[in-house]
Amino acid sequence: MIDYQSALALEISPVEQSYSEKDTILYSLGLGLGGNPTNEEELTFVYEDGLRTMPTMPVAMAFTSFRDIPLDVDYRKLVHGEQGLIVHQPLPVSGTVVGHTFVREVIDRGADKGALIYLEREIRNKDDNSHLASATMTAFCRGDGGVAGAPDSTTPAVHPIPEHPADLEVSTTTLSQAALIYRLSGDLNPLHADPSLARKVGFDAPILHGLATFGIMGRVIVENLLNWRPEFLQTLDMRFSAPVYPGETIVTELWRDGNEVSFRAKAKERDTLILNNGRALVTG
C-alpha cells in the first residue's frame, strides 16, 4: 500500500547524464526527423553543421525509471497516463545535465479505482546549475487504490478540446524501425523491441515509446505552427489514450488560439485515438 506522507517525503537520488552531438542527432532521428534530407530547416536537427536540439529532448534526459523509485505499487498495473514539459531555456546540443526527481502529489481514487502519482523532474545544466526544463509525468496505478493517509483530493481537470473543426490536420507516418531507434536514447524496455514479449503482454507487436509519441507531437507543432523555430515552444502537455505501433500514420488535429495550441491525435490505420487533451503554449 502507498503511504501518502512517505511518498511525498521520498528523497530520490539525482541522475547525471553526459551527452554529445551524436546523442542529440540520434534523438531527433528517433522522432523521424531527416525524412526529407533536402529540407534545410529539418536538416539542422540531424546534421552537426548548425545543429539544434528538439525542445522535447529533455524528457529523455537524466531520468529515474519509475521502477527505481521506492513506492509500494503493483508495476504490472502501472499506466503512463500523462506527460508534460516546461522549457525554461534551450537544451545545449552537448553537455552534462542533472535530473532531480520529486513526487509532487498522490491522489487516491478509491480502493477499487487505483491511485494517481504525479512526478516532476528538474533538468539542470551541471556547469552552472541553470534550470533547463521541467518534465512532469502522471502514473496511473490501477492496482493501488486506498492510499494510506491521503487527503481528499479532486483529480485535476483535463484541458478541453475545442468543439469546432480543427484549424489544421497533419499526417505523420512513423518509421517501422522508430522504436528500435528511439530506445537508443535511453529507454531500453524490451516491450519496444521484442515481438514475443509484446505478444505476451497483450500487444500485436512491439509498441512505440510514449515519450517518442510525445516528441513527435512537439515536432508536429515546431514544423507546422512555428516554422521550424524550436525556441518558440514553451510548454507541452498531453494525455495518452492508446499506444502507437511503429509504421503507423499519426493524424494530428490542431487548434490555435493566440499562444495556446490544443491538439489530439489518432492512429489512422486503426482509427484509434492515441492521445487527447493536448495543450501547448507557444510564442512567435
In a shared domain, residues 188 and 123:
no
**Residue 159 domain-assigned (yes or no):** no
List of residues 6+ apart from 198 with CB closer than 8 A: 191, 204, 205, 206, 207
In a shared domain, residues 111 and 191:
no
- Where in the sequence is the domain holding 240, given as residue range(s)? 168-282
- Residue 62: per-residue pLDDT: 97
In a shared domain, residues 137 and 175:
no
CA angle 99, 236, 258 (to 5 degrees): 145
Alpha carbon distance 94, 200 (integer Å) = 38
In a shared domain, residues 9 and 133:
yes
Alpha carbon distance 202, 196 (integer Å) = 10
Q: Total domain count for the chain?
A: 2
In a shared domain, residues 24 and 100:
yes
Phi and psi angles of residue 134, each rounded to the nearest 5 degrees, phi first: -125, 125
* Chunked mean pLDDT (size 10), the chain, 284 residues: 94 98 98 95 97 98 92 88 97 98 95 94 98 97 92 91 98 97 93 93 94 98 98 98 97 98 98 98 92
In a shared domain, residues 132 and 173:
no
List the CATH number of the domain containing 69: 3.10.129.10
In a shared domain, residues 176 and 264:
yes
